[in-house]
Structure 1
Amino acid sequence: MQRTGGMHRVTVLIPDDVVVLDAAIPMDVFGSDPNYQLQVCAAAPTVRTSVPGLSCGAVAGLEAMERSDTVVVPGYASFDRPLPEPVIRALRDAHQRGTRMLSICTGAFALAAAGVLADRPATTHWRAAPLLQARYPDVDIRHDRLFVDNGDVLTSAGVTSGIDLCLHVVRKDFGAAVANDRARDLVAPPIREGGQTQFTRPFLADTPTATLADLRAWILANLDHPHTLDGLARRCNLSRRTFIRRFRDETGTSAHAWITTARLDHARELLERTQLPVSEIGYRTGLGNPANTRAVFKRHLGIGPGEYRRSGNVADRR
Protein backbone atom coordinates (compact mmCIF):
# COMPACT_ATOMS: atom_id res chain seq x y z
CA MET A 1 0.00 0.00 0.00
CA GLN A 2 1.32 3.41 -0.96
CA ARG A 3 2.78 5.80 1.58
CA THR A 4 3.51 9.51 1.45
CA GLY A 5 6.61 10.72 3.24
CA GLY A 6 6.67 7.52 5.26
CA MET A 7 3.23 8.25 6.75
CA HIS A 8 -0.06 6.52 6.07
CA ARG A 9 -2.73 8.94 4.86
CA VAL A 10 -6.16 8.47 6.44
CA THR A 11 -9.13 10.49 5.24
CA VAL A 12 -12.35 10.56 7.28
CA LEU A 13 -15.36 11.28 5.08
CA ILE A 14 -18.08 13.15 6.97
CA PRO A 15 -21.54 12.36 5.55
CA ASP A 16 -24.49 14.62 6.20
CA ASP A 17 -26.24 13.86 9.52
CA VAL A 18 -23.05 12.23 10.82
CA VAL A 19 -23.04 10.59 14.25
CA VAL A 20 -20.59 12.76 16.17
CA LEU A 21 -18.99 10.01 18.25
CA ASP A 22 -18.55 7.77 15.21
CA ALA A 23 -16.64 10.57 13.48
CA ALA A 24 -14.55 11.38 16.56
CA ILE A 25 -13.27 7.81 16.95
CA PRO A 26 -11.09 7.58 13.81
CA MET A 27 -10.04 11.21 14.23
CA ASP A 28 -8.73 10.45 17.71
CA VAL A 29 -7.20 7.02 17.03
CA PHE A 30 -5.42 7.99 13.81
CA GLY A 31 -5.08 11.73 14.34
CA SER A 32 -3.12 11.29 17.58
CA ASP A 33 -0.79 8.66 16.14
CA PRO A 34 2.43 9.99 14.54
CA ASN A 35 2.40 7.10 12.06
CA TYR A 36 -0.66 8.53 10.34
CA GLN A 37 -1.52 11.74 8.54
CA LEU A 38 -5.21 12.55 9.07
CA GLN A 39 -7.50 14.62 6.89
CA VAL A 40 -11.24 15.28 7.15
CA CYS A 41 -13.32 15.75 4.03
CA ALA A 42 -16.95 16.26 3.08
CA ALA A 43 -19.12 17.15 0.11
CA ALA A 44 -19.68 20.64 1.57
CA PRO A 45 -17.61 22.95 3.81
CA THR A 46 -20.13 22.54 6.65
CA VAL A 47 -22.04 19.35 7.40
CA ARG A 48 -25.01 18.75 9.69
CA THR A 49 -24.53 16.28 12.51
CA SER A 50 -27.09 14.05 14.21
CA VAL A 51 -27.07 16.47 17.17
CA PRO A 52 -29.56 19.32 16.62
CA GLY A 53 -27.80 22.66 16.27
CA LEU A 54 -24.31 21.14 15.95
CA SER A 55 -22.47 21.20 12.64
CA CYS A 56 -19.10 19.88 11.52
CA GLY A 57 -16.62 21.75 9.35
CA ALA A 58 -14.42 19.91 6.85
CA VAL A 59 -11.05 21.24 5.73
CA ALA A 60 -11.12 19.45 2.38
CA GLY A 61 -13.52 18.39 -0.33
CA LEU A 62 -14.13 14.92 -1.71
CA GLU A 63 -10.98 15.17 -3.82
CA ALA A 64 -8.97 14.45 -0.64
CA MET A 65 -9.85 10.78 -1.08
CA GLU A 66 -7.78 10.72 -4.26
CA ARG A 67 -4.61 11.04 -2.15
CA SER A 68 -5.59 8.61 0.62
CA ASP A 69 -4.26 5.22 1.65
CA THR A 70 -7.33 4.60 3.86
CA VAL A 71 -10.80 6.14 3.80
CA VAL A 72 -13.06 5.91 6.87
CA VAL A 73 -16.82 6.47 6.71
CA PRO A 74 -18.44 7.09 10.12
CA GLY A 75 -22.07 6.28 10.84
CA TYR A 76 -24.83 8.72 9.98
CA ALA A 77 -28.39 8.96 11.26
CA SER A 78 -30.08 9.29 7.85
CA PHE A 79 -28.69 5.97 6.57
CA ASP A 80 -32.16 5.04 5.31
CA ARG A 81 -31.95 7.82 2.70
CA PRO A 82 -29.74 7.88 -0.43
CA LEU A 83 -26.38 9.67 -0.30
CA PRO A 84 -25.56 12.36 -2.87
CA GLU A 85 -24.22 10.87 -6.07
CA PRO A 86 -20.85 12.73 -5.83
CA VAL A 87 -20.19 11.05 -2.45
CA ILE A 88 -21.04 7.59 -3.81
CA ARG A 89 -18.89 8.17 -6.89
CA ALA A 90 -15.92 9.37 -4.80
CA LEU A 91 -16.13 6.26 -2.60
CA ARG A 92 -16.40 3.96 -5.60
CA ASP A 93 -13.43 5.63 -7.31
CA ALA A 94 -11.31 5.42 -4.16
CA HIS A 95 -12.01 1.71 -3.82
CA GLN A 96 -11.21 1.07 -7.47
CA ARG A 97 -7.86 2.83 -7.01
CA GLY A 98 -6.99 0.31 -4.30
CA THR A 99 -7.65 2.53 -1.28
CA ARG A 100 -8.45 0.63 1.90
CA MET A 101 -12.04 1.31 2.99
CA LEU A 102 -13.35 1.33 6.57
CA SER A 103 -16.83 1.96 7.92
CA ILE A 104 -18.08 2.53 11.44
CA CYS A 105 -21.64 1.59 12.35
CA THR A 106 -24.11 2.72 9.66
CA GLY A 107 -21.25 3.99 7.50
CA ALA A 108 -21.58 0.52 5.95
CA PHE A 109 -24.63 1.83 4.06
CA ALA A 110 -22.38 4.31 2.24
CA LEU A 111 -19.91 1.59 1.25
CA ALA A 112 -22.75 -0.68 0.14
CA ALA A 113 -24.28 2.12 -1.96
CA ALA A 114 -20.93 2.53 -3.70
CA GLY A 115 -20.77 -1.20 -4.47
CA VAL A 116 -17.78 -1.69 -2.19
CA LEU A 117 -19.46 -4.41 -0.11
CA ALA A 118 -20.87 -6.45 -2.99
CA ASP A 119 -20.27 -10.19 -2.45
CA ARG A 120 -18.30 -9.47 0.72
CA PRO A 121 -18.86 -10.20 4.41
CA ALA A 122 -19.69 -7.07 6.39
CA THR A 123 -21.35 -5.86 9.56
CA THR A 124 -23.11 -2.80 10.92
CA HIS A 125 -25.07 -1.91 14.05
CA TRP A 126 -27.38 -4.80 14.88
CA ARG A 127 -30.45 -2.56 14.70
CA ALA A 128 -29.59 -1.50 11.15
CA ALA A 129 -28.43 -4.90 9.90
CA PRO A 130 -31.87 -6.10 8.67
CA LEU A 131 -32.32 -2.96 6.54
CA LEU A 132 -28.80 -3.26 5.12
CA GLN A 133 -29.51 -6.89 4.19
CA ALA A 134 -32.87 -6.05 2.60
CA ARG A 135 -31.52 -3.11 0.63
CA TYR A 136 -28.27 -4.78 -0.49
CA PRO A 137 -28.92 -8.55 -0.73
CA ASP A 138 -25.52 -9.09 -2.37
CA VAL A 139 -23.78 -8.21 0.94
CA ASP A 140 -23.00 -11.10 3.28
CA ILE A 141 -24.21 -9.56 6.55
CA ARG A 142 -22.56 -10.85 9.71
CA HIS A 143 -25.22 -9.66 12.15
CA ASP A 144 -23.44 -10.40 15.41
CA ARG A 145 -19.84 -9.42 14.65
CA LEU A 146 -18.03 -6.49 16.29
CA PHE A 147 -16.10 -5.94 13.09
CA VAL A 148 -15.25 -7.76 9.88
CA ASP A 149 -11.80 -7.59 8.30
CA ASN A 150 -12.01 -8.42 4.62
CA GLY A 151 -8.51 -7.23 3.76
CA ASP A 152 -9.00 -4.00 1.84
CA VAL A 153 -12.53 -3.45 3.19
CA LEU A 154 -13.30 -3.43 6.91
CA THR A 155 -16.65 -2.75 8.59
CA SER A 156 -17.65 -2.40 12.24
CA ALA A 157 -20.78 -2.39 14.36
CA GLY A 158 -21.97 0.39 16.65
CA VAL A 159 -19.88 3.10 18.30
CA THR A 160 -17.35 1.39 20.60
CA SER A 161 -16.69 -1.37 18.08
CA GLY A 162 -15.37 1.43 15.88
CA ILE A 163 -12.57 1.83 18.44
CA ASP A 164 -11.95 -1.92 18.24
CA LEU A 165 -11.74 -1.72 14.45
CA CYS A 166 -9.40 1.29 14.40
CA LEU A 167 -7.08 -0.32 16.94
CA HIS A 168 -7.17 -3.50 14.87
CA VAL A 169 -6.05 -1.47 11.84
CA VAL A 170 -3.20 0.13 13.82
CA ARG A 171 -2.15 -3.36 14.90
CA LYS A 172 -2.16 -4.55 11.27
CA ASP A 173 -0.22 -1.52 10.07
CA PHE A 174 2.35 -1.03 12.82
CA GLY A 175 2.19 -4.00 15.18
CA ALA A 176 0.80 -4.98 18.57
CA ALA A 177 3.12 -2.71 20.57
CA VAL A 178 1.94 0.48 18.83
CA ALA A 179 -1.71 -0.60 18.99
CA ASN A 180 -1.45 -1.40 22.67
CA ASP A 181 0.06 2.03 23.34
CA ARG A 182 -2.88 3.66 21.57
CA ALA A 183 -5.32 1.50 23.53
CA ARG A 184 -3.74 2.59 26.80
CA ASP A 185 -4.00 6.24 25.74
CA LEU A 186 -7.68 5.71 24.98
CA VAL A 187 -8.26 3.62 28.12
CA ALA A 188 -9.78 1.05 25.76
CA PRO A 189 -9.59 -2.76 25.78
CA PRO A 190 -6.68 -3.72 23.52
CA ILE A 191 -7.84 -7.26 22.83
CA ARG A 192 -11.47 -7.28 21.69
CA GLU A 193 -11.50 -9.28 18.47
CA GLY A 194 -13.93 -8.99 15.58
CA GLY A 195 -15.38 -12.44 16.15
CA GLN A 196 -16.93 -11.42 19.44
CA THR A 197 -20.64 -10.80 19.44
CA GLN A 198 -22.36 -7.43 19.58
CA PHE A 199 -24.09 -6.48 22.83
CA THR A 200 -27.70 -6.90 21.75
CA ARG A 201 -29.20 -7.33 25.22
CA PRO A 202 -28.94 -5.40 28.51
CA PHE A 203 -25.69 -5.90 30.38
CA LEU A 204 -24.53 -4.95 33.84
CA ALA A 205 -23.45 -1.43 34.68
CA ASP A 206 -19.67 -1.00 34.80
CA THR A 207 -19.21 -0.64 38.55
CA PRO A 208 -16.62 -2.48 40.65
CA THR A 209 -19.30 -4.53 42.40
CA ALA A 210 -21.28 -5.37 39.28
CA THR A 211 -18.65 -6.39 36.73
CA LEU A 212 -15.62 -8.59 36.32
CA ALA A 213 -13.40 -5.68 35.27
CA ASP A 214 -11.12 -6.07 38.29
CA LEU A 215 -10.72 -9.76 37.53
CA ARG A 216 -9.81 -9.08 33.92
CA ALA A 217 -7.22 -6.52 35.03
CA TRP A 218 -5.79 -9.13 37.42
CA ILE A 219 -5.63 -11.73 34.63
CA LEU A 220 -3.75 -9.30 32.38
CA ALA A 221 -1.23 -8.73 35.18
CA ASN A 222 -0.85 -12.48 35.72
CA LEU A 223 -0.96 -14.03 32.27
CA ASP A 224 1.84 -16.42 33.19
CA HIS A 225 -0.38 -18.07 35.83
CA PRO A 226 -2.54 -21.06 34.98
CA HIS A 227 -6.19 -19.99 34.92
CA THR A 228 -9.13 -22.35 35.27
CA LEU A 229 -12.83 -21.59 35.22
CA ASP A 230 -13.26 -22.94 38.72
CA GLY A 231 -10.36 -20.88 40.07
CA LEU A 232 -11.54 -17.67 38.40
CA ALA A 233 -15.08 -18.24 39.60
CA ARG A 234 -13.89 -18.75 43.18
CA ARG A 235 -11.87 -15.53 42.95
CA CYS A 236 -15.10 -13.68 42.16
CA ASN A 237 -17.20 -15.58 44.69
CA LEU A 238 -19.41 -16.85 41.91
CA SER A 239 -20.58 -20.27 40.86
CA ARG A 240 -18.91 -21.69 37.76
CA ARG A 241 -22.13 -21.38 35.76
CA THR A 242 -22.76 -17.78 36.82
CA PHE A 243 -19.14 -16.84 36.11
CA ILE A 244 -19.29 -18.29 32.59
CA ARG A 245 -22.48 -16.36 31.84
CA ARG A 246 -21.26 -13.09 33.36
CA PHE A 247 -17.91 -13.22 31.55
CA ARG A 248 -19.57 -13.77 28.18
CA ASP A 249 -22.17 -11.05 28.86
CA GLU A 250 -19.42 -8.51 29.57
CA THR A 251 -16.85 -9.44 26.91
CA GLY A 252 -18.86 -11.18 24.21
CA THR A 253 -16.61 -14.22 24.36
CA SER A 254 -15.53 -17.05 26.65
CA ALA A 255 -12.92 -16.66 29.37
CA HIS A 256 -10.65 -19.16 27.59
CA ALA A 257 -10.80 -17.28 24.27
CA TRP A 258 -10.31 -13.91 25.98
CA ILE A 259 -7.25 -15.11 27.92
CA THR A 260 -5.74 -16.77 24.85
CA THR A 261 -6.10 -13.55 22.85
CA ALA A 262 -4.56 -11.54 25.71
CA ARG A 263 -1.61 -13.94 25.90
CA LEU A 264 -1.08 -13.85 22.16
CA ASP A 265 -1.23 -10.06 22.09
CA HIS A 266 1.36 -9.78 24.86
CA ALA A 267 3.59 -12.32 23.14
CA ARG A 268 3.46 -10.32 19.90
CA GLU A 269 4.44 -7.18 21.78
CA LEU A 270 7.43 -8.95 23.38
CA LEU A 271 8.51 -10.31 20.00
CA GLU A 272 8.39 -6.80 18.55
CA ARG A 273 10.04 -4.95 21.44
CA THR A 274 12.53 -7.42 22.93
CA GLN A 275 15.06 -10.04 21.93
CA LEU A 276 13.79 -12.56 24.46
CA PRO A 277 13.87 -16.15 23.17
CA VAL A 278 10.55 -17.59 22.08
CA SER A 279 10.71 -20.19 24.82
CA GLU A 280 10.89 -17.51 27.52
CA ILE A 281 8.16 -15.44 25.90
CA GLY A 282 5.88 -18.48 25.90
CA TYR A 283 6.26 -19.02 29.63
CA ARG A 284 6.08 -15.28 30.44
CA THR A 285 2.77 -14.93 28.64
CA GLY A 286 1.24 -18.22 29.75
CA LEU A 287 1.30 -19.77 26.28
CA GLY A 288 3.56 -22.47 27.67
CA ASN A 289 6.30 -24.50 26.02
CA PRO A 290 7.61 -23.62 22.53
CA ALA A 291 5.45 -26.24 20.81
CA ASN A 292 2.24 -24.87 22.33
CA THR A 293 3.32 -21.28 21.65
CA ARG A 294 3.94 -22.13 17.99
CA ALA A 295 0.57 -23.88 17.78
CA VAL A 296 -1.30 -20.84 19.13
CA PHE A 297 0.53 -18.48 16.74
CA LYS A 298 -0.15 -20.77 13.78
CA ARG A 299 -3.81 -21.12 14.65
CA HIS A 300 -4.46 -17.40 15.12
CA LEU A 301 -1.91 -15.70 12.83
CA GLY A 302 -0.98 -18.37 10.30
CA ILE A 303 2.75 -18.15 11.12
CA GLY A 304 4.96 -19.21 14.01
CA PRO A 305 6.51 -16.79 16.53
CA GLY A 306 9.97 -17.09 15.01
CA GLU A 307 8.67 -16.24 11.55
CA TYR A 308 6.62 -13.40 13.03
CA ARG A 309 9.79 -11.89 14.49
CA ARG A 310 11.97 -12.55 11.43
CA SER A 311 9.50 -11.23 8.87
CA GLY A 312 10.48 -7.64 9.64
CA ASN A 313 7.10 -6.43 8.35
CA VAL A 314 6.25 -4.53 11.51
CA ALA A 315 9.64 -2.85 11.74
CA ASP A 316 9.59 -1.98 8.05
CA ARG A 317 6.26 -0.18 8.40
CA ARG A 318 7.47 2.16 11.13
Structure 2
Amino acid sequence: MSDNNLIEARGLSVRYGRKMACDELTFTVPKGRVVGLLGHNGAGKTSLMKALVGLMPRSGELSVMGLDPVRQRVQLLQSLCYIPDVAILPRWARVDQLITLMSGLHPRFSADRARALLKRTSVGPRDKVKTLSKGMVVQLHLALIASIDARLMILDEPTLGLDILSRKSFYEMLIDEWCDGERTVIISTHQVEEIETLLSDVMILNEGKLVLDISLEDVDRRFVALSHDAVSADRIAAAHPLLRYRQQGETVALFDGAPSDDVAQLGRRMRPKLVDLFVALTRAPELNRSSA
Protein backbone atom coordinates (compact mmCIF):
# COMPACT_ATOMS: atom_id res chain seq x y z
CA MET A 1 0.00 0.00 0.00
CA SER A 2 1.29 3.45 -0.93
CA ASP A 3 2.18 5.72 2.01
CA ASN A 4 0.02 8.43 0.41
CA ASN A 5 -3.14 6.31 0.11
CA LEU A 6 -5.51 5.72 3.01
CA ILE A 7 -7.73 3.37 0.99
CA GLU A 8 -6.87 0.96 -1.80
CA ALA A 9 -9.51 -1.26 -3.42
CA ARG A 10 -9.18 -3.66 -6.33
CA GLY A 11 -12.07 -5.69 -7.71
CA LEU A 12 -14.13 -4.91 -4.58
CA SER A 13 -17.61 -6.44 -4.68
CA VAL A 14 -20.41 -6.51 -2.09
CA ARG A 15 -23.52 -8.72 -2.37
CA TYR A 16 -26.88 -8.80 -0.66
CA GLY A 17 -28.00 -12.32 -1.50
CA ARG A 18 -28.31 -12.34 -5.28
CA LYS A 19 -28.09 -8.55 -5.59
CA MET A 20 -24.68 -7.10 -6.45
CA ALA A 21 -24.54 -3.86 -4.47
CA CYS A 22 -20.95 -3.01 -5.45
CA ASP A 23 -19.57 -4.55 -8.61
CA GLU A 24 -15.80 -4.89 -9.09
CA LEU A 25 -14.81 -1.44 -7.79
CA THR A 26 -11.16 -0.41 -8.13
CA PHE A 27 -10.01 2.90 -6.67
CA THR A 28 -7.63 4.63 -4.28
CA VAL A 29 -8.25 7.46 -1.81
CA PRO A 30 -5.17 9.51 -0.82
CA LYS A 31 -4.69 11.32 2.45
CA GLY A 32 -5.74 14.94 2.79
CA ARG A 33 -8.77 14.73 0.49
CA VAL A 34 -12.47 15.56 0.77
CA VAL A 35 -14.25 12.99 -1.38
CA GLY A 36 -17.89 13.20 -2.43
CA LEU A 37 -19.50 9.78 -2.92
CA LEU A 38 -22.50 10.30 -5.16
CA GLY A 39 -25.20 8.00 -6.47
CA HIS A 40 -28.94 7.48 -6.55
CA ASN A 41 -30.65 5.45 -3.83
CA GLY A 42 -29.61 1.83 -4.28
CA ALA A 43 -26.48 2.70 -6.23
CA GLY A 44 -24.22 1.03 -3.64
CA LYS A 45 -22.97 3.98 -1.57
CA THR A 46 -23.95 2.69 1.86
CA SER A 47 -22.77 -0.84 1.01
CA LEU A 48 -19.37 0.53 0.04
CA MET A 49 -19.11 2.57 3.22
CA LYS A 50 -20.05 -0.43 5.35
CA ALA A 51 -17.41 -2.51 3.59
CA LEU A 52 -14.80 0.18 4.32
CA VAL A 53 -15.53 0.00 8.06
CA GLY A 54 -15.79 -3.79 8.19
CA LEU A 55 -19.57 -4.06 8.57
CA MET A 56 -20.14 -5.90 5.29
CA PRO A 57 -18.46 -9.03 3.90
CA ARG A 58 -16.92 -8.43 0.51
CA SER A 59 -14.82 -10.07 -2.17
CA GLY A 60 -11.77 -8.59 -3.87
CA GLU A 61 -8.92 -6.67 -2.30
CA LEU A 62 -9.46 -3.89 0.23
CA SER A 63 -6.99 -2.11 2.47
CA VAL A 64 -7.98 0.81 4.72
CA MET A 65 -5.00 2.53 6.31
CA GLY A 66 -3.02 -0.64 5.67
CA LEU A 67 -5.54 -2.84 7.52
CA ASP A 68 -8.16 -5.41 6.57
CA PRO A 69 -11.49 -3.87 7.69
CA VAL A 70 -12.96 -7.20 8.81
CA ARG A 71 -10.00 -9.05 10.32
CA GLN A 72 -8.42 -5.95 11.89
CA ARG A 73 -11.55 -3.93 12.62
CA VAL A 74 -10.76 -3.10 16.27
CA GLN A 75 -7.39 -1.66 15.26
CA LEU A 76 -8.94 0.13 12.28
CA LEU A 77 -11.57 1.90 14.38
CA GLN A 78 -8.87 3.55 16.46
CA SER A 79 -8.04 5.75 13.46
CA LEU A 80 -11.39 5.87 11.64
CA CYS A 81 -14.64 7.73 12.37
CA TYR A 82 -17.98 6.67 10.90
CA ILE A 83 -21.39 8.34 11.08
CA PRO A 84 -24.03 6.13 9.38
CA ASP A 85 -27.22 7.51 7.89
CA VAL A 86 -29.22 6.17 10.85
CA ALA A 87 -26.89 7.43 13.58
CA ILE A 88 -28.71 7.79 16.88
CA LEU A 89 -27.67 9.35 20.19
CA PRO A 90 -29.46 8.25 23.40
CA ARG A 91 -32.28 10.73 23.99
CA TRP A 92 -32.04 10.50 27.79
CA ALA A 93 -28.38 11.53 27.94
CA ARG A 94 -26.98 14.98 28.67
CA VAL A 95 -24.23 16.35 26.47
CA ASP A 96 -21.64 16.28 29.26
CA GLN A 97 -22.56 12.64 29.98
CA LEU A 98 -21.92 11.72 26.35
CA ILE A 99 -18.51 13.39 26.52
CA THR A 100 -17.69 11.38 29.65
CA LEU A 101 -18.94 8.20 27.95
CA MET A 102 -16.82 8.81 24.86
CA SER A 103 -13.76 9.46 27.04
CA GLY A 104 -14.13 5.97 28.48
CA LEU A 105 -14.95 4.26 25.18
CA HIS A 106 -12.29 5.60 22.82
CA PRO A 107 -8.61 5.98 23.76
CA ARG A 108 -8.07 8.75 21.19
CA PHE A 109 -11.07 10.88 22.14
CA SER A 110 -10.38 14.35 23.54
CA ALA A 111 -13.01 15.71 25.92
CA ASP A 112 -11.39 19.15 25.81
CA ARG A 113 -11.62 19.23 22.04
CA ALA A 114 -15.29 18.17 22.15
CA ARG A 115 -16.09 21.00 24.55
CA ALA A 116 -14.23 23.48 22.34
CA LEU A 117 -16.07 22.32 19.21
CA LEU A 118 -19.44 22.56 20.94
CA LYS A 119 -18.74 26.22 21.70
CA ARG A 120 -19.18 26.77 17.95
CA THR A 121 -22.78 25.57 18.30
CA SER A 122 -25.81 26.43 20.41
CA VAL A 123 -25.58 23.07 22.19
CA GLY A 124 -24.93 23.42 25.93
CA PRO A 125 -23.14 20.86 28.15
CA ARG A 126 -26.21 20.35 30.36
CA ASP A 127 -28.66 19.95 27.45
CA LYS A 128 -30.36 16.61 27.03
CA VAL A 129 -30.40 15.06 23.58
CA LYS A 130 -34.21 14.85 23.63
CA THR A 131 -34.45 18.66 23.96
CA LEU A 132 -32.26 19.36 20.92
CA SER A 133 -33.44 20.02 17.38
CA LYS A 134 -32.39 17.60 14.66
CA GLY A 135 -29.79 20.04 13.41
CA MET A 136 -28.32 20.44 16.90
CA VAL A 137 -28.15 16.66 17.35
CA VAL A 138 -26.22 16.34 14.09
CA GLN A 139 -23.80 19.07 15.18
CA LEU A 140 -23.36 17.35 18.55
CA HIS A 141 -22.66 14.06 16.82
CA LEU A 142 -20.06 15.66 14.56
CA ALA A 143 -18.38 17.38 17.53
CA LEU A 144 -18.08 14.05 19.34
CA ILE A 145 -16.75 12.21 16.31
CA ALA A 146 -14.39 15.02 15.26
CA SER A 147 -12.84 14.91 18.73
CA ILE A 148 -11.34 11.51 17.96
CA ASP A 149 -7.75 11.78 16.75
CA ALA A 150 -8.45 9.84 13.55
CA ARG A 151 -7.10 9.89 10.00
CA LEU A 152 -10.27 9.00 8.09
CA MET A 153 -13.89 10.08 8.54
CA ILE A 154 -16.76 8.44 6.66
CA LEU A 155 -20.13 10.22 6.62
CA ASP A 156 -23.26 8.66 5.15
CA GLU A 157 -25.85 11.36 4.36
CA PRO A 158 -24.82 13.34 7.47
CA THR A 159 -27.20 16.27 6.92
CA LEU A 160 -30.24 14.40 5.63
CA GLY A 161 -33.44 16.19 6.62
CA LEU A 162 -31.73 19.34 7.91
CA ASP A 163 -32.55 22.87 6.82
CA ILE A 164 -30.02 24.80 4.76
CA LEU A 165 -28.60 26.79 7.70
CA SER A 166 -28.01 23.62 9.72
CA ARG A 167 -26.32 21.97 6.75
CA LYS A 168 -24.09 25.00 6.23
CA SER A 169 -23.08 25.03 9.92
CA PHE A 170 -22.30 21.31 9.82
CA TYR A 171 -19.99 21.56 6.82
CA GLU A 172 -18.28 24.70 8.13
CA MET A 173 -17.39 22.87 11.33
CA LEU A 174 -16.22 19.82 9.41
CA ILE A 175 -13.91 21.74 7.08
CA ASP A 176 -12.65 24.28 9.65
CA GLU A 177 -12.09 21.94 12.57
CA TRP A 178 -11.25 18.53 11.14
CA CYS A 179 -9.76 18.78 7.65
CA ASP A 180 -6.07 19.65 7.99
CA GLY A 181 -4.46 18.47 4.74
CA GLU A 182 -3.57 15.07 6.20
CA ARG A 183 -6.96 13.68 7.21
CA THR A 184 -9.46 12.47 4.63
CA VAL A 185 -13.25 12.70 4.62
CA ILE A 186 -15.63 10.65 2.47
CA ILE A 187 -19.12 12.17 2.30
CA SER A 188 -22.12 10.42 0.79
CA THR A 189 -24.83 12.93 -0.04
CA HIS A 190 -27.65 13.87 -2.40
CA GLN A 191 -26.97 17.60 -1.91
CA VAL A 192 -24.48 17.76 -4.76
CA GLU A 193 -24.68 21.48 -5.44
CA GLU A 194 -24.20 22.44 -1.79
CA ILE A 195 -20.98 20.52 -1.22
CA GLU A 196 -19.29 20.88 -4.61
CA THR A 197 -17.10 23.76 -3.40
CA LEU A 198 -15.92 21.68 -0.42
CA LEU A 199 -14.77 18.67 -2.42
CA SER A 200 -11.36 17.83 -3.79
CA ASP A 201 -12.53 14.60 -5.47
CA VAL A 202 -15.72 12.86 -6.54
CA MET A 203 -16.69 9.22 -6.93
CA ILE A 204 -19.97 8.44 -8.72
CA LEU A 205 -21.69 5.07 -8.38
CA ASN A 206 -24.41 3.91 -10.74
CA GLU A 207 -26.12 0.55 -10.19
CA GLY A 208 -23.10 -0.76 -8.29
CA LYS A 209 -20.55 0.38 -10.85
CA LEU A 210 -17.97 3.12 -10.34
CA VAL A 211 -18.67 5.36 -13.34
CA LEU A 212 -16.39 8.23 -12.32
CA ASP A 213 -13.44 8.62 -9.93
CA ILE A 214 -11.76 11.95 -10.47
CA SER A 215 -10.43 15.10 -8.81
CA LEU A 216 -12.39 18.31 -9.24
CA GLU A 217 -9.37 19.79 -10.98
CA ASP A 218 -9.45 17.02 -13.57
CA VAL A 219 -13.20 17.44 -14.07
CA ASP A 220 -12.48 20.86 -15.56
CA ARG A 221 -9.78 19.39 -17.77
CA ARG A 222 -11.71 16.36 -18.99
CA PHE A 223 -15.31 17.55 -19.38
CA VAL A 224 -16.42 20.43 -21.58
CA ALA A 225 -19.73 22.30 -21.35
CA LEU A 226 -20.71 24.41 -24.37
CA SER A 227 -23.45 27.03 -24.24
CA HIS A 228 -24.97 27.43 -27.70
CA ASP A 229 -27.87 29.05 -29.55
CA ALA A 230 -30.80 27.35 -31.29
CA VAL A 231 -29.20 27.73 -34.74
CA SER A 232 -26.32 25.46 -33.71
CA ALA A 233 -28.47 22.89 -31.90
CA ASP A 234 -28.53 20.25 -34.64
CA ARG A 235 -24.79 20.37 -35.26
CA ILE A 236 -24.09 20.22 -31.53
CA ALA A 237 -26.46 17.24 -31.17
CA ALA A 238 -24.71 15.44 -34.03
CA ALA A 239 -21.50 15.50 -31.96
CA HIS A 240 -23.24 13.25 -29.36
CA PRO A 241 -22.82 15.15 -26.07
CA LEU A 242 -23.32 13.27 -22.82
CA LEU A 243 -26.15 15.60 -21.84
CA ARG A 244 -28.04 18.65 -23.05
CA TYR A 245 -29.72 20.90 -20.51
CA ARG A 246 -30.83 24.44 -19.75
CA GLN A 247 -28.79 26.71 -17.48
CA GLN A 248 -29.63 30.35 -16.75
CA GLY A 249 -31.78 30.53 -19.88
CA GLU A 250 -29.13 29.01 -22.14
CA THR A 251 -28.90 25.61 -23.80
CA VAL A 252 -25.75 23.74 -22.77
CA ALA A 253 -24.16 20.57 -24.14
CA LEU A 254 -21.84 18.51 -21.95
CA PHE A 255 -19.02 16.53 -23.57
CA ASP A 256 -16.63 13.92 -22.21
CA GLY A 257 -13.42 15.26 -23.69
CA ALA A 258 -12.93 18.26 -25.93
CA PRO A 259 -15.20 18.28 -28.99
CA SER A 260 -13.70 18.89 -32.41
CA ASP A 261 -12.64 22.44 -33.21
CA ASP A 262 -15.55 23.02 -35.59
CA VAL A 263 -18.02 21.99 -32.87
CA ALA A 264 -16.21 23.98 -30.16
CA GLN A 265 -16.54 27.11 -32.28
CA LEU A 266 -20.34 26.78 -32.23
CA GLY A 267 -20.62 27.66 -28.55
CA ARG A 268 -19.11 29.30 -25.51
CA ARG A 269 -17.20 27.09 -23.11
CA MET A 270 -18.54 26.98 -19.53
CA ARG A 271 -17.39 25.25 -16.37
CA PRO A 272 -19.34 21.98 -16.04
CA LYS A 273 -21.28 21.68 -12.81
CA LEU A 274 -20.96 18.52 -10.77
CA VAL A 275 -24.73 18.04 -10.56
CA ASP A 276 -25.03 18.06 -14.36
CA LEU A 277 -22.16 15.62 -14.66
CA PHE A 278 -23.89 13.39 -12.11
CA VAL A 279 -27.13 13.44 -14.10
CA ALA A 280 -25.29 12.71 -17.35
CA LEU A 281 -23.50 9.65 -15.96
CA THR A 282 -26.34 8.09 -14.00
CA ARG A 283 -29.30 8.38 -16.36
CA ALA A 284 -30.62 5.37 -18.22
CA PRO A 285 -28.77 4.84 -21.54
CA GLU A 286 -31.96 5.25 -23.57
CA LEU A 287 -32.48 8.69 -22.01
CA ASN A 288 -28.95 9.70 -22.94
CA ARG A 289 -29.53 8.58 -26.49
CA SER A 290 -32.81 10.46 -26.77
CA SER A 291 -31.22 13.70 -25.57
CA ALA A 292 -28.43 13.59 -28.12
Alignment TM-score, normalising by the size of structure 2: 0.32
Give the TM-score, by structure 1 length.
0.30
Structure number having the greater helix percentage: 1
Task: Select the structure with the greater relative contact order (CA < 8 A; seq sep ≥ 6).
Answer: 2
Name the one with the larger strand percent: 2
